[in-house]
Structure 1
Amino acid sequence: MSRWRILAVDDDPDILELIEMSLADTYDVLTVSTPSLALELVETFEPDLIILDIMMPKVTGYQLIETLRQRRDTARLPVIFLSAKDTIRDQKYGYKLGATTYLTKPFQPERLTRNIGNIFDHTPPGRHPKRWTLGEARERLRNLLAEQSAPPPPAPAKLQMPGMPKTVHHRESQAPDDSKWRL
Structure 2
Amino acid sequence: MSSEFQRHKISNVFHLMDTDHNGVLEESDFAALAERWASYREGTDRHLVQALMMGWWATLLAASDEDADPAEGEVSLEGTLRVVDRLGDMTSSVEGTAKAMFEIIDENGDDLISAEEYNRLIEVWNGFPIDTDTTFSLLDLNDDGYLTKEEFILLWTQFWVGDNPDEPGTWMFGRFEFPEARVG
TM-score after normalising by structure 1: 0.31
Which protein has the bigger strand share?
Answer: 1
- Decide which structure has greater helix share: 2
